[in-house]
């Protein structure tokens, strides 16, 4: 098992990182709170990378860590999920899972051309987004836009159950990749703050209480990141461990994000609780992501079935 990145993967990660650093600063995420069109200049760049949705999960997850790190608004995650499900790598899209406990709403439905609707069965219908009435659902996270859609009678086709199960696993890993990215952003901000903020005439990061919190945050972050990379490898290798690995990835990412956002704001103290500080932009995303594509508890329950009932 080799976790080292290929030169191409390193290049992809670095390109994504630089692109998002330049095109998606906190000011853009903040502007997106009141002006949903603020994502458009960023999207002109990100839309060039949506074909990653049809490629190896390892590459896509590396890129998604960066979109998560920047809390990038827009339909990137949605489109890569749509592409993986439909094979359509040309149009923008999103997915709607009907009667599914892991995804109640539809990501970015007003910003895409097509919606892949998965009905129980599973059956699949791909429809024009413009044909469907969509309703915005406000959440605590301003960086994503969620919707409900009014579904007419759809002419759905059977979807291969195994292929769909694999798509779902990939979606868990992708969501987890974005989450560890966002968690890393909060961690980096917190670590930097602990080094610069002085109380009692010394940096607060010299206090053992703060050091031990940061050590624990760092451990949970590193193992969630490793779990995501491992899950991506099992997907690309169609390894027998892939189902477990993808549940582990989303559960670990959820655990990491929650721990880091809570301790992150605690270490920031009062300043982190203000609207003007950027921390809440990422804290909101990390909080809300837990409820997309299955909560930590939901994934642990699936793992329990695999471990105990089979």
Partner 1 sequence: MQLAWSPEDEAFRLDLIAFLDENTPEQMRTGYDFQDVGDEHELVPQWLRDWQATLFDHGWMIPGYPPERGGRNCTPVQTLIYLETMAGRRMIRSGHFPGYAIVAPSLLEFGNDEQKRLVPAAIRGDTIWCIGMSEPNAGSDLAGLSTRAELRDDHFVVNGQKVWTSYAMIAQKCFCYVRTDPTLPKHKGISLLIIDVDSPGIDIRPLRHISGTAGFAEVFFTDVIVPRENLVGGLNGGWAITQGSLAHERAGLWVEGVARFEQTIEGLVKLAREQGRAGDPIIRRKIASAYELAASLRALGYKGFASFAQGSSAPEHSYMKMAMSEAGKAAFELGMEISGPLAPVTDPELGASTNRFVHGFFMSFANTIAGGSSEIQRNIIAQRVLGLPRR
Chain contacts with partner 1 (rule: CB under 8 A): 1-6, 9, 58, 191, 194-195, 202-203, 205-208, 210-212, 214-216, 218-219, 222-227, 229-230, 232-234, 236-237, 239, 244-245, 247-248, 251-252, 255, 297, 300-301, 303-304, 307-309
Nearest distance in Å: CB 299, partner 1: 8
The 10 Å Cβ neighbour count of residue 23 is: 16
Dig out the tokens for 218 from the structure: 């760092």
Dig out the tokens for 226 from the structure: 């490793």
Helix ranges (DSSP H) in 112-207: 161-196
Supply φ then ψ for residue 35, to 5 degrees.
-130, 95
Q: Is 156 helix (H, G, I), strand (E, B) or coil?
A: coil
Complex with partner 1: residue 143 or 225, whichever CB lies closer: 225
Complex with partner 1: residue 76 or 230, whichever CB lies closer: 230
Nearest distance in Å: CB 180, partner 1: 11
Nearest distance in Å: CB 84, partner 1: 18
Q: Determine the Cα–Cα distance for residues 243 and 234; give it in Å rounded to an integer.
A: 9
Residue 9, C-beta contacts closer than 8 angstroms, at least 6 positions apart: 58, 59, 62
Complex with partner 1: residue 89 or 303, whichever CB lies closer: 303
Nearest distance in Å: CB 4, partner 1: 4
Complex with partner 1: residue 82 or 230, whichever CB lies closer: 230
Cross-strand bridge partners of residue 135: 148
Complex with partner 1: residue 57 or 103, whichever CB lies closer: 57
Q: Determine the Cα–Cα distance for residues 140 and 97; give it in Å rounded to an integer.
A: 22
How, if at all, do strands 93-97 and 114-119 pair?
A: parallel
Complex with partner 1: residue 91 or 295, whichever CB lies closer: 295
Q: Are 117 and 98 a contacting pair, CB within 8 Å?
A: yes
Nearest distance in Å: CB 127, partner 1: 36
Complex with partner 1: residue 14 or 216, whichever CB lies closer: 216
Supply φ then ψ for residue 297, to 5 degrees.
-65, -40
Nearest distance in Å: CB 191, partner 1: 6
Nearest distance in Å: CB 51, partner 1: 19
Supply φ then ψ for residue 71, to 5 degrees.
50, 45
How, if at all, do strands 123-128 and 114-119 pair?
A: antiparallel
Q: Is 136 helix (H, G, I), strand (E, B) or coil?
A: strand
The 10 Å Cβ neighbour count of residue 30 is: 18
Nearest distance in Å: CB 164, partner 1: 23
Q: Determine the Cα–Cα distance for residues 217 and 99; give it in Å rounded to an integer.
A: 35
Complex with partner 1: residue 165 or 215, whichever CB lies closer: 215
């Amino acid at each position: 098992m080799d976790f080292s990145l290929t030169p191409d993967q390193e290049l992809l990660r670095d390109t994504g990182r630089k692109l998002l650093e330049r095109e998606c600063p906190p000011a853009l995420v903040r502007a997106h709170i009141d002006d949903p069109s603020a994502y458009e200049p960023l999207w002109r760049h990100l839309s060039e990378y949506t074909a990653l949705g049809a490629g190896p999960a390892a590459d896509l997850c590396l890129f998604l860590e960066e979109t998560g790190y920047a809390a990038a608004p827009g339909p990137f995650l949605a489109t890569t999920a749509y592409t993986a499900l439909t094979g359509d790598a040309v149009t923008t899209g999103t997915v709607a899972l009907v009667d599914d406990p892991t995804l109640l709403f539809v990501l970015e439905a007003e910003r895409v051309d097509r919606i892949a609707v998965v009905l129980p069965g599973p059956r699949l219908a791909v429809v024009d987004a413009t044909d469907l009435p969509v309703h915005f659902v406000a959440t605590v996270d301003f960086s994503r836009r969620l919707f409900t859609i009014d579904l007419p009678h759809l002419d759905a086709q059977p979807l291969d159950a195994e292929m769909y199960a694999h798509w779902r696993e990939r979606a868990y890993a992708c969501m987890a990749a974005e989450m560890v990215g966002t968690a890393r952003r909060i961690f980096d901000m917190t670590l930097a703050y602990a080094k610069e903020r002085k109380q009692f005439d010394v940096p607060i990061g010299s206090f053992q209480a703060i050091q031990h919190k940061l050590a624990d945050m760092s451990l949970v972050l590193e193992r969630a990141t490793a779990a995501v990379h491992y899950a991506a490898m099992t997907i690309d290798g169609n390894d027998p461990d892939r189902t477990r690995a993808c549940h582990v990835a989303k559960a670990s990412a959820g655990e990491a994000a929650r721990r880091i956002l809570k301790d992150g704001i605690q270490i920031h103290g009062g300043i982190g609780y203000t609207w003007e500080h950027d921390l809440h932009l990422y804290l909101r995303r990390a909080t809300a992501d837990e409820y997309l594509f299955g909560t930590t508890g939901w994934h642990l329950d699936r793992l329990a079935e695999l471990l105990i009932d089979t």
